[in-house]
Amino acid sequence: MLVDHFPQLGLRLRTPRLELRLPGPEELSALADLAAEGIHDPEVMPFVVPWTDLPPAERARSVVQHHWKRLGASTPEDWGLPFTVFLRDGTVVGTQEMHARNFAISREVHTGSWLGPRYQGQGIGTQMRAAVLHLAFEGLDAQEAASAAFEHNATSYRVSGKLGYQPDGLERYAVRGLLAIARRLRLTRADWEKHRTVPVEIDGLAPCLPLLGINPGAGLTPDPG
């Protein structure tokens, strides 16, 4: 079976409302369809790379290509987990990615996400970020998690605030030919512990550990609930 060769396919994160996992072909197609419908107000751009400015068909294809590229390029020293986010009834609602470089040394992860517009404003964004943070801190023994959002992205800041992130400086980007200021945010293990309110279950982690740069014999307890 393919999962025997690529165990990340068997990794599951579950919250009371959601399941996060790598999608099958038809589920990836549903995610691409969701992106084609539009993700945000076209007057603002929440992404450093303005991929959502592409026409709908190209935007959908870019979702598929990004997913395959992230998985195909993943190594223990530079890995990514581009989870698709599902409601418990199987509906595809968005994507939540977590990635890291030299995680065995840095113990730091980075996250990014998007949701289809009709699923925004319902608390889903908080639960899906909480799921990957639980994977990072409880499952992988991370020490810090980093994120960032442009100054106009109030929704992202609200989610980060609920989960305990603290300001970590600014970054300046050129987006659509204009200056865009992003606020960096950082979450320590101690602050995560103080703000963890969403119950998360992890299944299928143990066989993934070597591919995420972790020595299973180093005292890490796999598959915590």
DSSP secondary structure code for residue 208 in this structure: G
Q: Give the residue extent of every domain in the chain.
A: 2-142+200-212
C-beta separation of 76 from 66 below 8 A: no
**Which residues, including other chains, have CB under 8 Å from residue 103's CB and lie 6 or more apart?**
79, 109, 140, 142, 212, 213, 214
Question: pLDDT of 149-204, one tens digit each?
Answer: 998 888 899 999 999 999 999 999 999 999 999 999 999 999 999 999 999 999 99
Asked if residue 217 has pLDDT above 70, the reply is no
Tokens of 49: 């790379």
Which two tokens mark 166?
Answer: 């603290």
Task: Count how many Cα atoms sit within 13 Å of the Cα of residue 213 in the half-sphere of its side chain.
Answer: 21
The tokens of 32 are what?
């691409």
Cα distance between residue 15 and residue 6, in whole Å: 24
**The pLDDT of residue 135:** 98
Report yes or no on whether pTM surpasses 0.85. yes
CATH T-level assignment (fold) for domain 2-142+200-212: Aminopeptidase (3.40.630)
